[in-house]
Structure formats: structure tokens, C-alpha cells
Structure 1
């Protein structure tokens, strides 16, 4: 059991520490960058909507909608029924889905089980590490489970060591269209460790490079054998990946390494990864386990130890703050499993969530292919998103989970005295930008809004290998964020002053 404070500080330390790699495909590290002293600050003339859209410099499609939260009245829309990729704004809908189906106090449990008799400290049978769909499980938690195993009286295991990953369907990546090496699209299964990422570190040595692959947290740095790295004498590609059964085999270009550095790489075999690390932690307690065997079958077995995640409400706040894709997918798929049985695929689970949104909020023209928004085949309309936001606000949900959206000047500095206050969920993919949430105007009026923009043609031209940082994407997304703030300021000035 862990407190909320401990979870936010320790449980997500690895996530916060590697935010730079996650930001490139998810939520931006900073908010909007408008011109200094905007019309809303000066009380000057209100910018015309058509002029704002035309002057944004954005190619592709732009759609937006805004409504009064109290009355539900639609105030302004441009392309309100146009369905565009929502990117990570979709995570707001996933949060509501999970709250409705699982409940705010739901916890995920990871268990250690004995399939056999325990006599005199010897387990005559198999030991099972059973995943319960917890996306926040980390190396520290496995260390605690190993210690609890010893405290339960286990000194020796005569049978096999198994990892059960059958709580959720197993998928090798969230979005197959992403490059192999990006940490924000790891594998999914019923067990996850360190957000299914492995830490690769390199340093220039006297002959070549010193490299390591480990499952580090602030407290532990156990090396792993299921993920291997080889340095190759080449310039490109920077990384290559090969699936060698239960091993993730990587190579990296020597000419890209420099003197040293590190990055998180995705794990494609979560069960073997968790098993690898748990063996190390058990060995530290004097318990020697055989190499892990991953299984989808759960026998009737005796509980020896367990770890529970924080309450779902705490996890969702962290998921939305850090825009973590794996958390969204595992939580969303767990909600579907509880609602209608374990889904066979991510797309199937997302379809179940879309159907739920239609029943619950009257969503009409939106279709999702995942729970994170990473897949650009998802579509959502501004009108649908605003309807969801208004209903959630009336139910007292979501707003407290969204993070403050700081208004900024032309130098990127937070404008503390800005009269408009915003909490929202951002969404950023290459040539796709979304924003949905609530703004509170100077007079206290609350508005719900959604803004989606996408240049699908430019996105389609990107080669798979270049999708981490394609040319032109950063400047396009920067212009989209400038437009978002200008729209917010327009709405706050017209409808809240």
C-alpha cells in the first residue's frame, strides 16, 4: 500500500524524469506562446474568428467549438461536426470511461502465487507472478514483493517460475506506425514494469563504449538480460530492433553516440521483462528462481504476497498530467474488460469506449482506435468533445483531474496576471494539435471548449523512420498552439466580460 504522495513522488519518478522523450509525441512541455499583451489583457478589440483562423498559417483543417458550461448553450463553432484526430485529448474521455466503469477508488493488484505445497520453506510447485493490469508497477514494487515472499516463509522454489500476463491482451506496440525505438509506444499486456521501458545508457570507454540495459528507479538499477544492445559501426539508422523470441535485440549506430548519454527504449516482451527483474529481486532475498516462463493460463493458486496500485483517481490525474500512453491504454482496456469481458485488441476496446460515450454523452460523430490518442486514425469532433466536457462538469468529474494550462507571453514566460484561467488536456502529434477543457473568464463565467487541427497530407508524407522529429512538424505545432491561445482569449473576452 502506498500513499498518494509516495506514488506521485516515487511511482512516477521515472515518467517525470524522462518527460522529454514522451513530450515529443504527446503533451507539449510548455503551453501556448502568444504575442505579448494580447487583446484580452488590454481590453481592446476582439479578433474576428475567420481572421484568426485564416491568419494562423496552418495548412490542413481546423475545427473548434465553445459552449457555456452552466446553460449548455453553444456559443461559437467552426467545423463543429468535423471529425479530426484528437491526439492525447482522447485521454480525457478515457479517464471518464474508467471512472464510470471501475470507480474512483479502484486499485490494480499484482500478486505472487504458489501453485503447489509450501513445506518447511520449500515450495513444491510453481511460483507465479501475476499481473493485474497495473500500469504503474515499477522495480521498487517488485523488490517489496520479493521481500514479502521471503517474509511469507519461502526459501526455495522447486518448480518453475511463471509470469501471468493474461489480464489484458498482449500487443507488441500501441501504434505500429511509430518507429521501433520510441518509448511512448511500448508493448501492452496484463503486466507492465516501469511503463514497459528499459533504460539504455552508454559512455565512451578506452576501447569503444561501455553500455548497460537496466530497469532502474531512483533506488535500484538491476541489469536485465531480456533486452540487449550492440554498438554497430554505422551512421544510420540510429537504432534497429529484432524480436528474438523472448529477447529484445537492439543495435545502435556508433556515430550517433557521442561521448555518452542515455534514453528509455520500449519493451516488447513485458512478461519476460517483469520476470527478469523479479528474479533479480528474489535472488537478493536468497530465493533462486528459474528463468521466467510467460503464461496466459491462471491456475488456482495460493496467495503469498501482493502489491496494490494507488486509487484510480490518483492514477488518472497522473496519466493526464504526464500524458502517458501506456497508462491510458491499460486503464482503458481494463475498463472494457470489466464492462464486457477482456477485449481481443486495442481497437476492439476503443470501439467499446466509443459505444459507451454514445450511450452516456450522446457522442455522434467520433470514433476512437485506442485510448491514448496515439493512433492518428482516431476521430473526434469539437461538438462531441464539448458535450462530454459539459456533462462531466455537471457530474463533478474531470475538471479537478486536468492540469492548469498556463497562458504565456511571446518569450514563453507564464503570464501570472492573465485574467483567463484554463484547465485542459493537450494533444500533440506531428502535424496534429488538440486542446480541450475549461476556461474561466474574468467575470467567473465558465466555458467548455475544444480545438482540433490536423494537416493529414503532411503527416502522411512522413516516413516511418522519421516520425520522431520530422521536418516542419515543430513549427506547424507551434503555430497551432498560438492559435489555441488566441481563440481562448477571444472567447474569454466575448463571453466572459
Structure 2
């Protein structure tokens, strides 16, 4: 399905984080700097404080000054670093309390000992109210600090579930790892004996008949036909072979996909040869698709050959089979994978997602089948320093409710995406932006408008779930990565609730804490 943008209701305001208070009789500037240094240290390397508070004495200058800061909080485990290959856990432990650190007038705040067991003393802001909204249904959510790798919020965050079109972020990352951003998908024509030529598909769904396209810059059948004419001259064509054998043509439709996805026009049958994404209206993103994309492509190529003046083409027979020839007489290529991702992600194009998934499988040696995708994705995503054990990939678009990826895994992937690691800047730059672009252009309204321009995320929508996953440049300057799944609620209720909990996370920033 495509992703829509309804209006969001007001979002409850989260509790503001509290700041330690300090008093000073002299040298106030130096005192404020020392307190700020301690706070930065606590935020960077959380340490558990003794219950009831900690008093610190800072002596500044010859006159002296005294400042007392107190804070209390529970202890919990720290999350794995962003590059960890294991997902963080949410179980609690109770470490023994360390001795109170002693500050001196020249002490470097960074010298405070690390203790991985405790959260920052300044983390007092919650999104619990927004995360409990009825519109979120069976809610799963995960938020982490992209820089420190610390888990800031998790509610069923490590439970694998259906992703909707958030899956397209995994598909993009897999394609970039397997194919590379510069890879182009070819379509070729080979010459057989007896006046037969073959149109051979390799998974480029953007190949266009030239009557409009939703993929600007796509290669055309006319370009192929002109090359064929130049090669054949006055030799006639009697047979046009439509070859979609790059992967098994019987593996074209997932049984968990509603047939309405094809008839309404969100998804074609996934074949290695098609024209204009098999759309009835090639210039419309959402347009009914056929039951025979390969035959439709063959017929369109016959028209292009006739228009190019190829003798006999107008009356040539179109047959579907694998070609018997390697004598290539014409070839065109798609735009680079990086461009295809830029066309797929903002508008949530299912067709390109399925093609990139299958081409990644085929080029990796896995054959191009849907059944191969879990293994292909796991291997590719592990290359980003992630632990993909347990993910289940049924398709590239996220249409299947049988897909299973946890919000925690998506959030960890988004750390790499936000950083532009290993070519993932292509995906980062393509993500819709709240209130600005793509499938988020009309979302985040009302009280949630505070996060407009600050949330970069992929939307997801299938009948049983609405999802959102990406990164947030929060109000306090912290970069958060997140994924939120609203499972089982209506779309009308889920979208504003997802916007509200995301905006709440934006307000909390690095002060976010799970209850």
C-alpha cells in the first residue's frame, strides 16, 4: 500500500528534565563551568549515585566557593554501543554503589570513572503517556542515543514483528551492500536464428514504453528498438522472445499479499521483465497492474520495433521463454541503484523495492527467489556491524504481515544510516522529513508540528500495522534513532498516535528515560 498523511491531534507534553541546582559565594563563572562539566560527564558516562543524593564540594580560587549538587535515580543496564552486534536488553540489574567521586578545582570531568550499569542523572523525561495511546494498538517501540548507543526507551522493542514499508530501509541497505550505489540493471536484446530476437529482462522495472513514466530518466524500449534496427538493417524479425528467466517466474506473488494490491495498483507481479512497472497508466504511481507483465512487455517491444522500422516486427509472434542466444545486439541500463533508492523511499514504491530485493538475491548468487531473501538480507546487514539473527524477510516492500524485524534492529540500523556509513548516506538523504517531504509531508501537525523538519523516517502501512522508523534531531541537540510499530489499530487512529509519540521523543531528547 502507499502511505498517506492524515492530520495529527495534539500531543501531551512530556515532563521537562530537571537540572541540578548550585549556589556560589564567589567566582560564579568558574563554578557554572565546573557544574556543566560534571553534567556533561554524567550524560556521557552515566554512573549510579548513592540513593538519597551525593554532595560535592568544589573549591574555586583563593576566596573559595562551595557548591552542592544532589541527584537520585534507579539503576539499569546500559545499551550496547551503536556498533554492537547484539541487540540491547531491557532487563534490570542492581550493581553495588561506587564510592563518591571527589572533585578538585582543576579536576577534569572526563576523569569520572565509567560505570556501564547506570543511566544519566539528568534523564527524567518520559514518553509513557504518548506511548500508551489507544491508537497505537499493540505497541512496540525503541529509542536510542545514536552517539552513545544507550537505550533510552524500549517497550517490546526487541520483539520481531511486521514492519510495513519500514522494510524498504532494510531493502535499500541490502542493495547498497550487495550491488553498490553505482550498479545499473540491464535489459538486453539477443539475436537468435531464423529471424527471432529476444528481449531479456534482468529486473529493471523502470524500463519504459515512452508514454510517460513515474521514473524520470528511465531507459526506453525505443532506445532498444533503434539499436536493433541498426544491427539488423533490412533483415526481418519473425519472432519476439520475452525472456523473464532471470529468476523463476512462478515466484511472482507472495500468498500473504492481498490481490487488491495488484488490482488497485500498489504492486505488480514480481517478474524479471516488465515495462513501466506493469502499470496500466505508466505516468501514475498507483495504477492497476496486469496478470501478465512479461507478455505486456513483449507486446510493447513489438510496437517499438515497428515504430523503429524493423521489417516484419508489426506481425511478429511474441513468445515467452528463455533465450537460446548470447549474441547481444542491443542493451540499455537503469539509472544507478542510488537513484532508484531516491525514487523508491520518498514515495514508498513497492515495485522498486521488490526488484531491488530480487536483483540483490540474484547478484549475490542466491537465485533471486523470495525464499532466499532472509539469508541475503542477514548476510548484507551483518556487514554494517549489526546482528540480524532472527529477522524474517518475506519480501522487499514490507507488504507481507509475515515479515519479522524488531524495532530495536531498525533503530540500530538507523544509527548507521544517520551517520552515512558504508554508502548509507544515499538512504539517509532519501528518507521523508516530517512536515516537509515524501510520505511525511502533511504529517506532524498541531502540537506535533514542533518536530517538523527534525524527524527523518520511513513510513509503513499494511492492513494490520502502521509503522515509522528513522532518526530524530531532538530539541536538545541529541540525535536519536527509533522505530515505532502500531499493530492492530486503524490507520486513522495510528498515524496521529505515531506522530505524537515521535514528537514526544523529540521534546525529551537525551533526557528520555523508560519508566
TM over 0.5: yes
The answer (yes or no) to whether the contact 1:420–1:492 under 8 Å persists in 2 is no
Alignment TM-score, normalising by the size of structure 1? 0.69
Higher strand proportion: 1
Q: CA deviation at 1:444?
A: 3.1
The alignment partner of 1:292 has SS state of: strand
Deviates more, 1:264-273 or 1:282-291: 282-291
Distance 1:375 1:422, change over 3 A: same
Distance 2:482 2:7 in 1: 16
Distance 2:446 2:228 in 1: 50
The alignment partner of 1:84 has SS state of: coil
2:305 to 266, 282, 300: 282
Q: CA deviation at 1:331?
A: 0.8
Distance 1:133 1:150 in 2: 24
The answer for the alignment partner of 2:361 in structure 1 is 336
2:509 to 489, 492, 495: 492
Q: CA deviation at 1:99?
A: 0.5
* Residue-by-residue CA offset, 1:380-401 (whole Å, 9 max, x unaligned): 1111111222234441513123
The alignment partner of 1:453 has SS state of: strand
The answer (yes or no) to whether the contact 1:406–1:415 under 8 Å persists in 2 is no
Distance 2:443 2:342 in 1: 29
The answer for the alignment partner of 2:242 in structure 1 is 163
2:377 to 353, 358, 363: 353
* Residue-by-residue CA offset, 1:298-346 (whole Å, 9 max, x unaligned): 3333222211111110111111111111211111111111112313x31
Distance 1:190 1:403 in 2: 28
Distance 1:334 1:411 in 2: 35
Structure with bigger gyration radius? 2
The answer (yes or no) to whether the contact 2:136–2:485 under 8 Å persists in 1 is no
The answer for the alignment partner of 2:475 in structure 1 is 442
Distance 1:335 1:195, change over 3 A: same
The answer (yes or no) to whether the contact 1:433–1:480 under 8 Å persists in 2 is no
Deviates more, 1:163-172 or 1:101-110: 163-172
- RMSD of equivalent CA atoms: 3.2
Matched, 1:191 2:166: no
The answer for the alignment partner of 1:465 in structure 2 is none
Unaligned ranges ≥5, structure 1: 1-24, 117-123, 200-215, 219-261, 459-472
Report the count of equivalent residues: 384
The answer for the alignment partner of 1:144 in structure 2 is 223
Distance 1:393 1:485, change over 3 A: closer
Deviates more, 1:404-413 or 1:157-166: 404-413
Matched, 1:477 2:510: no
The alignment partner of 2:248 has SS state of: coil
Distance 1:320 1:420, change over 3 A: closer
Q: CA deviation at 1:195?
A: 1.1
Q: CA deviation at 1:293?
A: 0.7
The answer (yes or no) to whether the contact 1:87–1:433 under 8 Å persists in 2 is yes
The answer for the alignment partner of 1:27 in structure 2 is 3
Distance 1:475 1:268, change over 3 A: same
* Residue-by-residue CA offset, 1:238-293 (whole Å, 9 max, x unaligned): xxxxxxxxxxxxxxxxxxxxxxxx97211221210100111112112232331311
